Structure 1
């Protein structure tokens, strides 16, 4: 396993003396990767999805981020997310390890195929069961409470949060959490047949937000910032504890990396093959 994690892992960077890398990609340089061994596993921590100042979700350099992981040989990836809770069981400050995702719309983002031949990413299972088990095991080992399942609804492409009607619809669809950044990161990672799993912290809850108009915005902002800071520290502890009990023998049991490799005829060829 060569693990890539999207996380501002301040504690692990310091404690494990991870070295900073600058990776040049076809989409520009990525200079915020910190690399080293964590419990004998080669790990590469991407320090946030966007460089410098925060940007809208559609301006995050997803292609450059994934290309940096390509260059580093990353074959397993964990994404960490800040989300909103949707169903009544999720409150602000809760951690969730989703088991599936709904993404009905999104940007036209893709990576050029490494072998010169385009193919759709196959995403069943959606998230790698081995990586999900690593996260669940890490949460149990640290005693950090998490929701061990949930559907992430990917709400992408608007400079706003969801309307009340949209949240009602998302809740009826059975989603537990909603956010803007899991896809296209998930799709691009799966295009590379990377094993992928996610863990998220809810900074608020749909059912709590119904009364948000009666709350001081500064109080809400301060509470959200505190939840994010606590969540990042908990993500680090969970991932480290999961890696401490990692079993290399279990890595091949998930089926995430299966892809057809034979000399198959391309059904999308535009001209008769004997004329090409």
Structure 2
């Protein structure tokens, strides 16, 4: 197992003396990879999705990030996220391990298939059940309160928060959290047949988003920064504890690396060109 984690893991990088790597990819160099071993698992931390200052979601170098994990032969990936809570049970600072995803829009971001033949990613279930169990177990081991399930609504490509109507629709759909960055990272990783899981921290709640204009912006920003900082530290503890107690269950049980075999191509593959 080789694990890639998208996380600014300040404490683990320092305490475990992870080394900084520069990985050259077909989509440009990635110089913020920190590599080492965590409880016997080769682990690579991608220190943030974007280099330098914060950038809009549509400018994140998703292809370069995934190509860096390709170059490092990463087969398992954990994505960490900052989100908004939609379900009224989620408050600012809460942690959520989503079990499914809704993504109705996204960029024209793609990567060439690893085997030279295009096929759609198999995403049922959306997130690797083995990695989800690892995170849930890590949360329980550390006594960290988390919502152990939830649907993430990917709201990609808009430089604004959600409208009242959109929040109402999400709530009716049973959505628990909303964010802008899970896809296309999720899709690109699954196209590479990577085992993928997500964990998120909510910086605000359903009520906060609906009434943001009534809040003191400085108070809101300070609260959000604290939630993010606390969330990152919790992510580190959960991941480390999960790896420390992961056991010997083979990841193949989850079916995340399922591909078409034999003479009959599965429903997720594209049609041969000579039939079009």
Instruction: Please give the TM-score of this superposition, normalised by the length of structure 1.
Output: 0.95
SS at match of 1:136: helix
Structure 1 counterpart SS, 2:249? helix
SS at match of 1:243: helix
Query: Which residue number in structure 1 is paired with residue 61 of structure 2?
Result: 61
The alignment partner of 1:249 has SS state of coil
- How far residue 264 of structure 1 moved from its aligned partner, in angstroms, is 5.9
CA distance in 1 between counterparts of 2:90 and 2:262 reads 46
Q: Which residue of 2 aligns with 1:110?
A: 110
| 1:183 alignment partner in structure 2 | 183
Backbone CA RMSD of aligned residues = 1.4
Question: For the residues of structure 2 that align with 1:52 and 1:267, how far apart are their CA atoms?
Answer: 42
Shift of 1:41: 0.5
- Distance, in Å, in 1 between the alignment partners of 2:254 and 2:76 is 12
Cα drift, residue 110 of structure 1 = 1.1
Task: Supply the distance in 1 between the matched residues of 2:214 and 2:115 (Cα, whole angstroms).
Answer: 55
What is the CA–CA distance in structure 2 between the aligned matches of 1:60 and 1:261, rounded to whole Å? 34
- For the residue of structure 1 that corresponds to 2:121, the secondary structure is coil
Q: Give the drift of 1:248.
A: 3.1
Q: CA deviation at 1:253?
A: 1.1
Partner-residue secondary structure (3-state), 1:162? coil
Counterpart Cα distance in 1 of 2:251 and 2:121: 20
Q: What is the TM-score normalised by the length of structure 2? A: 0.95
CA distance in 1, matches of 2:241, 2:61: 30
Compute the displacement of 1:53 (Å): 1.0
Instruction: Tell me what 2:21 maps to.
Output: 21
* Matched position secondary structure for 1:182: coil
Give the Cα separation in 1 of the matches to 2:222 and 2:12.
Answer: 25
Deviation at 1:206, TM superposition (A): 1.3
Q: CA deviation at 1:21?
A: 0.6
Deviation at 1:268, TM superposition (A): 3.1
Deviation at 1:270, TM superposition (A): 4.2
1:105 CA displacement: 1.1
Q: Cα offset for 1:249?
A: 2.9
Gaps of 5+ in 1: none
Q: Which residue of 2 aligns with 1:140?
A: 140
Secondary structure at 2:202 match in 1 = strand
